[in-house]
Structure 1
Amino acid sequence: MKRRRSRVIVVTGASAGVGRAAAREFGARGDSVALLARGEAGLAAAAEEIEAAGGKALVVPVDVADHREVDDAARRVEEEFGPIDVWVNAAFAGIFAPFNQVSPDEFRRVTEVTYLGYAFGTKAALDRMLPRNHGTIVQVGSALAYRAIPLQSAYCGAKHAIKGFTESLRCELMHRRSAVRVTMVQLPGLNTPQFDWVLSRLPHRPQPVPPIYQPEVAARAVVFAADHPRRKEFWVGGSTAATLLADKIAPALIDRYLARTGYSSQQTDMPYDPEGPANLWEPADGKDGHDFGAHGRFDARSHAKSVETWLSRHRTALTAASLLAAGAAAASPLLLGRTTAPARGRRR
């Protein structure tokens, strides 16, 4: 079998959560992975994991909200590793609070990291990929890019913006017949450390909306999307598919449902500690050098596999199989009738 060529991968938000898990997944394949984030303790630990798995790692501390830092990071990656093959945008920031309790500066910061960080990362990647006519950009999205929920207005707005921005860019790449690809991976609620460090004004500690999936489920989908970028997007988790489809059918009903359940479903029974770590303005591991890793505190409640992810990855083959089955079912009465009908001229 032909051996797969090692690639150069850039992952933003690589110090924890989905970015950390995806970077590790790429590293296990022998890729050279550049790790971009603010949290240096998490970046250093992620680099150790990648190298232990057989890959190469490059730590590049960067605030993705600063386009100069992002472009400088891309330049450094190509100087040390060579041409970038895949760029994964996964960095984000958030705040859990009703919109009227979010300050303008806080809202701007979430938008700059979560939306503009993707735009700046995409721009840095395209500046290098387009002249070579080669490369893939993976936008780590969310079901919230389609169906917003209460208490996360800035994050939901940013994810909607990423979807629109990516669709516009995809059309531009198609217009110029570019071989550069862009795709999105829409995620469900995940067991990541963001719920340990997100700024919140809720009475109880925040949690992902159940059902909860492990970040490795998302990481495998990100790697698959990087390998198969011709698809518009990939859905991860049955809850993602159900949410997106239900919103198409009955959006007003979903509004009422979320108004009734959206507050309680995003909080645990434990009180929120306002003195705990918050990473909106500075990395949560900046004070004591604590590495948060890829997982949050919901391991016991999280799913390690997703049937919908498998279906999304094999959608083409399943569609072909369904068409063949439908064709066979449609043809079988004709064939049956042809074999059982009396032959012409046969005596009774």
Structure 2
Amino acid sequence: MVVVTGASSGIGRATALAFADRGCSLVLAARRETALAEVAEECTTRGGQALAVPTDVTDPEAVQRLAGRTLDRFDRIDVWVNAAAVTVFSPFEDVPLEDFRRVLDVNVMGYVHGARAALPVMRGQRRGVLVNVSSIVAAIPQPYTHVYGMSKAAVRALSTSLRQELRVAGVRGVAVCSVLPASIDTPLFQHAANYTGRRAIAMPPVYPVERVARGIVNLVRLPRREVVVGPMGRNLLMMAKLTPGLTEKLMAVQVNQTHLSRRQQAPHTAGNLHEPSADGSGSADGGWHGRRRTAVRRAATVALLAGAAAASRRRTR
């Protein structure tokens, strides 16, 4: 029995479909009712049971109602996946403060509300898995997405703290897992708030959203503390440990050159921060496939630079 927030699009939607393929019962939450009903129908077609519950995760009472409806229908919560997320691209001083707070409210407090709804049920059952979708930017932040990086670092810290608290309390059957995806093919970038004047683009290499969904399903089968999705993400984590200064510089250049278009302008917009996207339907992918080959070559160059820098540091010690 699986609850998924942010299920109308992106990682949440792909995760719901992956669990449906395995015959799971699902309760799906998001703001967009039409898109939510659409994915619930697809889950049913694939062999799962699915209940759509329109929910704004920033409302703690709404999230508690989501848990209540789940228990009324299925009498338990085996898995809760916190996947709802929003973002904003902007120079730091140009971000409207209400937008800054909104990202934190969705990406951090939304996960807090989900954890507070799920964990008491799981503790009572003496089993369950809470999955929090963080990001590789929790460990390697980027320019222009300050609040998103802050929020994902907070999600990672929340997961760590909850694991420690459960251990101290002697709770053995409940797992809290973090997922750190690299750049994933989702509609997040089209839905983002943007005050840069440049179109936001998925930064290559871009991995299929189904890869994250498989990672989450595998975490439920065999819970682990944390999993990184995408080889580039694992490489970046290693580079950040060995050569943090170089990694920071390379990330700044990479974001400026490939995460924000140098050719396509974009109007200033609050995206889907305060209101759901205007398009009624949802999609798991964002149409960013095919942006990997040149990025792989670039990544290989970056890895060589990092290796050379690490070797240089060892020689100077």
Query: When the two structures are superposed, what TM-score results if normalisation uses the length of structure 1?
Result: 0.81
Whole-angstrom distance in 1 between the partners of 2:61 and 2:137: 29
Is 1:53 equivalent to 2:46 in the alignment?
yes
What's the offset of the Cα at 1:30?
A: 0.7
Aligned to 1:323: none
How many residues are matched? 292
SS at match of 1:263: helix
Structure having the higher Rg = 1
Determine the C-alpha separation between the residues in 1 that align with 2:254 and 2:78.
42
Residue 227 of structure 2 corresponds to which residue in structure 1? 234
Matched, 1:209 2:203: yes
Question: In structure 2, what is the equivalent of residue 163 of structure 1?
Answer: 156
Q: Percent identity over the alignment?
A: 37
In the TM superposition, what is the alpha-carbon distance from 1:204 to its structure 2 partner? 2.3
Whole-angstrom CA distance in 1 between matches of 2:100 and 2:197: 20
Give the deviation of 1:262 after TM superposition.
2.1
Long gaps (5+) in structure 2: 294-317
State the partner residue of 2:109. 116
Cα shift at 1:275: 7.5
> What is aligned with 1:189?
183
Closer, same or farther: CA 301–108 of 1 in aligned 2, 3 Å: same
Q: For the structure 1 residues 220 and 278, does the alpha-carbon distance in structure 2 shift closer, same or farther, using more than 3 Å as the test?
A: same
Unmatched runs of 5 consecutive residues or more in structure 1 = 1-7, 304-348
Deviation at 1:138, TM superposition (A): 0.7
In the alignment, residue 205 of structure 1 is paired with which amino acid? Answer: R
1:251 paired to 2:241? no
Higher mean displacement: 87-96 or 128-137: 128-137
Q: Does 1:300 align with 2:290?
A: yes
Aligned equivalents of 1:276, 1:116: Cα separation in 2: 23
**Secondary structure of the equivalent of 2:285?**
coil
**How far is 1:159 from its partner?**
0.6
Give the counterpart letter for 1:292 in structure 2: G
Contact 2:195 2:269 (C-alpha < 8 Å) held by counterparts: no
User: Is the Cα contact below 8 Å between 1:214 and 1:302 reproduced in 2?
Assistant: no
Tell me if the contact between 1:135 and 1:180 (Cα under 8 Å) persists in the aligned partners: yes
Q: What's the offset of the Cα at 1:270?
A: 5.1
Tell me the residue number matched to 2:61: 68
TM-score (norm 2): 0.88
| Map of 2:308 onto structure 1 | none
Q: Does 1:31 align with 2:21?
A: no
State whether residues 196 and 277 of structure 1, in contact with CA within 8 Å, keep that contact through their aligned partners in structure 2.
no
- Given that 1:10 and 1:33 are in contact with CA atoms closer than 8 Å, whether structure 2 keeps it comes out as yes
State the SS of the aligned residue for 1:296.
coil
* Contact 1:13–1:91 (8 Å) recurs in 2: yes
Q: What residue number does 2:193 align with?
A: 199
Shift of 1:235: 1.3
Deviation at 1:81, TM superposition (A): 2.0
Partner of 1:135: 128
Q: Could you say if the C-alpha distance between residues 43 and 268 of structure 1 is closer, same or farther in structure 2, counting changes exceeding 3 Å?
A: same
* Conserved? CA contact 2:206–2:289, under 8 Å: no
AA matched with 2:71 = E
Cα offset, 1:112, TM superposition: 0.5
Give 3-state SS (helix, strand or coil) of 2:130's partner. Answer: strand
RMSD of aligned residue pairs (Cα, Å): 1.6
Where 1:115 maps in the other structure, the secondary structure is helix
Q: Where does residue 214 of structure 2 map in the other structure?
A: 220
Per the TM alignment, residue 293 of structure 1 is displaced from its structure 2 partner at its CA by 0.8
Q: Which residue of 2 aligns with 1:144?
A: 137
Runs of 4+ in 1 over 6 A off after TM superposition: none
| Residues 114 and 90 of structure 1: CA distance in aligned 2, closer, same or farther (over 3 Å) | same
On the 8 A contact 1:32/1:57 being kept in 2, the answer is: yes
Aligned AA for 1:54?
G
Paired position in structure 2 for 1:42: 35
